[in-house]
Structure 1
């Protein structure tokens, strides 16, 4: 059941951190009353990332699908709860809009405030969206995981008025309230402007916010090569205590938050009844981190007779066999494992806290429980030898995986991998600094010279083997993703490049 939504208060808490040494604790602002209906017009935008630094190869990325942006959905819900009802979400990848299409849409809506979300590699597209939004006369705020590392630096771009650091769910209602009242938006936790620095806004419990707003989204335009249509995405928990060296951690990731089984199953039920969803993809960091809660979710699904397919991400050391059986019985059809590599030494350097034996046991146990396995791998790691690379392919093809993704190692800012890559002289220390200032013309260097070819070879070795014919046919029959899957396979078979991006 949904909880009664409390007033969202974004005043500072003692001992809280900030994104900058210049940040000072802002003065507390009162919680937002719920009874007023405000007139500010707000657009929340996810734009094409125009990404040079994608870790995925082109043939797969183009056909992988377009998934809803849950973060903007939660911000939309928070704004509605605060009395802002003139709010739209604009998802240009789903709508098929380029910059000019976005400009026309925003000009027609005439927003007072536009929020744009981005990752660091996706910044070129976000800046384009901010330029478009600014041309309509709106105030523009940039948010998303990117701003945890680079906050004030984004103000180099004249089209950006504010930067939101941390929890946009609390930042946006307060900023909207200040603009509605004609006040200077000073003292807002997590808001950075040219005049002030509000540090970072802390995580809130999503259950207290309410389910992400999906009304008005082009739900029929979302698809995944992995799922039948219509499908949807959800988050049932937040945070990850592990410290993999390639993974960027936001401030909101540093502690864990869990929604109750009743709230999770309630949203699953609404997705099935209202939207006719056939499969739900959970986008938690680690779905099975709290195993007792997962057992309760599975039991509640059974008690309510909910029939819907679902999948979730997890780790190989967090899936005991009894839990796998419960998940399979509750509709789990697929688990996404962050396996990452087949070489023990590189796994140690990745700080995975895993080993080959655990990987083999987890994937095999899931397979025996009737749950398909999806393995994520990273190739082209710093100083990865050909033999180490071959061990990754051998592992992927040896264990009973039905699907696999092979990413090229990309040292993102704020990660240990980035620090190590700079120290090894593989990448310039200031690459991302220049990138944030708008030097978008070159990709960051690969950590081994033939990294892109290794990713290509890994995909071919995994998918273009005879033993994959039956799993792939079964997948296409179950999901209806015949065209995307076959097109992807044909591209893998004939392509020699995985870096060109076709928009």
Structure 2
């Protein structure tokens, strides 16, 4: 059969948050599984197309699908429902299917309120969807025998028995054979039981792993297609230490020149893991700390210790991995005191990046179930809330004004102290990590001079911080990025002579660097030295339109 799998866009735009635009890795696995079993599959990322009825008309006319499936989570469910309605309006013979976390926990709601939706795949999707597609293709449609499925029978929503998890993840086709992407997984599931997260119920607190060999082979295939940066999306990448060390060892043995981000817990990390991950290209680890208040962490079932948090953040900085902290505010019992406790924790761990979220209640989480049981969340909220349900809206002790004040206080404290956290970092004196230190500091400097921190309204003196970081970077090792950054900052100051001196020094180490030469040409041009500027731009006129424009200015 011809199948289209779609990842709908979120209902609201999320400026600055790119994670939500990335196709879920699960869709690549499901598509690969269908392909290897003889079906034709197309993948559509709704964030990259004009998501509209007109687009679906054209898509259906060109692809002529038998089945269209949607990957659904809470924030994109409205657009998923729109897509289903558009499809049935265009061609009622097309079978429509939902899958994903929100679809699993809202299957009855979706099937009740959306008559255009035919099936919901509940839980892990590969085998269930394949069996469903095979069944639809055959004349004998014994749908009730397929495990892990929900559908309507007359006016009743039917759930078939749940399907067990795939025991051997390596038995699944490697999606990198068919697709190019940069979100990867070593494992599925999480053993922890956070009350704000749907993972415990979706994965039943079980954690299954690919072999390190399978995982690194996937990285190799993707690298051969031009991917050199990865998001390792495991809930807790470092949960199985021996696998992490083997993965890192294999990456180093293969000499894969890649960088990657990972997610961990502060109680699932030690110095050996951090060192191995940095050598293998890891440059950022994110940790969910949620709150500095023990009372709130207990409500969240987030049983971590402050001393573990302090140690993990220290180790990451020591070996040049950027530690990022996730915090949640607007929680049950939140008040000025608990916010102060979070500020105290921030001061203790001194993170190099922090993300602050308002508490949302997601279907499938313990918190959501508690409030729905108390009848505080109505079934009709599916239609009334375009995206998420904010906890504070259900709590008479919290107001929108409180939430805005808490968020501003947290962000202001973190960003106003971030320059100090950055400049006070203690990096390892082990020379084996000097190249990593130089890379880390120059990357971080770029974040202050050109990246996210450069435009942050809470931050001050970004360029001064960036200058210091670039200088420190060069003390560990020579990097093109550091010379380029210093050259650009000198230009911004109007000190073109210093810029020329810095860039000329950089070119002694990196004589073929286009970036350094182009930057040098700009400094010459601003000094009125068109002759030398022309020599800088000439080599690149055929590969960079900017070089051609600059060359015209040299006449």
Do both proteins adopt the same fold according to a TM-score greater than 0.5, normalized to the shorter chain?
yes
Per mean C-alpha deviation after superposition, the further-off stretch among 179-188 and 135-144 is 179-188
Larger helix fraction of residues: 2
Equivalent residue for 1:73? 28
Distance, in Å, in 2 between the alignment partners of 1:477 and 1:278 is: 21
Indicate the SS of the match to 2:203.
helix
Distance, in Å, in 2 between the alignment partners of 1:420 and 1:99 is: 37
Which residues of structure 1 form unaligned runs of 5+? 1-39, 220-231, 494-503
* Matched ranges for 1:59-458 at <5 A: 59-61=15-17, 66-84=21-39, 86-137=40-91, 138-156=94-112, 157-184=114-141, 185-195=143-153, 196-204=158-166, 205-212=168-175, 215=178, 232-248=182-198, 249-274=200-225, 276-419=226-369, 421=371, 429-431=376-378, 433-436=379-382, 438-440=383-385, 444-447=389-392, 448-449=398-399, 450-458=402-410
Distance, in Å, in 2 between the alignment partners of 1:343 and 1:300 is: 40
Cα shift at 1:481? 10
Provide closer, same or farther for how the CA distance between residues 359 and 284 of structure 1 changes in structure 2, counting only shifts above 3 A. same
Equivalent residue for 1:18? none
Distance, in Å, in 2 between the alignment partners of 1:457 and 1:101 is: 43
Distance, in Å, in 1 between the alignment partners of 2:442 and 2:295 is: 36
Aligned residues: 427
Equivalent residue for 2:476? none
Equivalent residue for 1:500? none
Indicate the SS of the match to 2:175.
coil
Distance, in Å, in 2 between the alignment partners of 1:370 and 1:42 is: 45
Distance, in Å, in 1 between the alignment partners of 2:179 and 2:276 is: 35
Provide closer, same or farther for how the CA distance between residues 262 and 213 of structure 1 changes in structure 2, counting only shifts above 3 A. closer
Cα shift at 1:108? 2.3
Which residues of structure 2 form unaligned runs of 5+? 393-397, 424-439, 461-555
Provide closer, same or farther for how the CA distance between residues 320 and 90 of structure 1 changes in structure 2, counting only shifts above 3 A. same
Indicate the SS of the match to 2:384.
coil
Tell whether the 8 Å contact from 1:408 to 1:452 is kept in structure 2 after alignment. Answer: no
Task: Name which one, 1 or 2, has greater alpha-carbon Rg.
Answer: 2
Provide closer, same or farther for how the CA distance between residues 478 and 486 of structure 1 changes in structure 2, counting only shifts above 3 A. closer
Per mean C-alpha deviation after superposition, the further-off stretch among 121-130 and 195-204 is 195-204
Cα shift at 1:313? 0.6
TM-score, reference length from structure 1: 0.77
User: Do residues 41 (structure 1) and 2 (structure 2) align?
Assistant: yes
Provide closer, same or farther for how the CA distance between residues 453 and 127 of structure 1 changes in structure 2, counting only shifts above 3 A. farther
Tell whether the 8 Å contact from 1:382 to 1:421 is kept in structure 2 after alignment. Answer: no
Deviations 1:336-387 (A, max 9, x none): 1111111122222221111211111111112112211011110111121112
Cα shift at 1:398? 4.1
Per mean C-alpha deviation after superposition, the further-off stretch among 178-187 and 262-271 is 178-187
Distance, in Å, in 2 between the alignment partners of 1:292 and 1:308 is: 21
Tell whether the 8 Å contact from 1:236 to 1:287 is kept in structure 2 after alignment. Answer: yes
Tell whether the 8 Å contact from 1:476 to 1:485 is kept in structure 2 after alignment. Answer: no
Deviations 1:77-110 (A, max 9, x none): 11011111x2101101133534532443233212
Higher relative contact order (CA 8 A, sep 6+): 1
Indicate the SS of the match to 2:380.
helix
Cα shift at 1:305? 1.4
TM-score, reference length from structure 2: 0.70
Equivalent residue for 1:462? 414
Distance, in Å, in 2 between the alignment partners of 1:481 and 1:443 is: 35
Distance, in Å, in 2 between the alignment partners of 1:369 and 1:378 is: 27
Cα shift at 1:395? 2.3
Distance, in Å, in 2 between the alignment partners of 1:127 and 1:456 is: 35
Cα shift at 1:182? 3.2
Distance, in Å, in 2 between the alignment partners of 1:267 and 1:412 is: 32
Distance, in Å, in 1 between the alignment partners of 2:268 and 2:49 is: 38
Distance, in Å, in 2 between the alignment partners of 1:128 and 1:80 is: 27
| C-alpha RMSD of matched pairs (Å) | 2.9
Deviations 1:214-238 (A, max 9, x none): 8577x6xxxxxxxxxxxx1101101
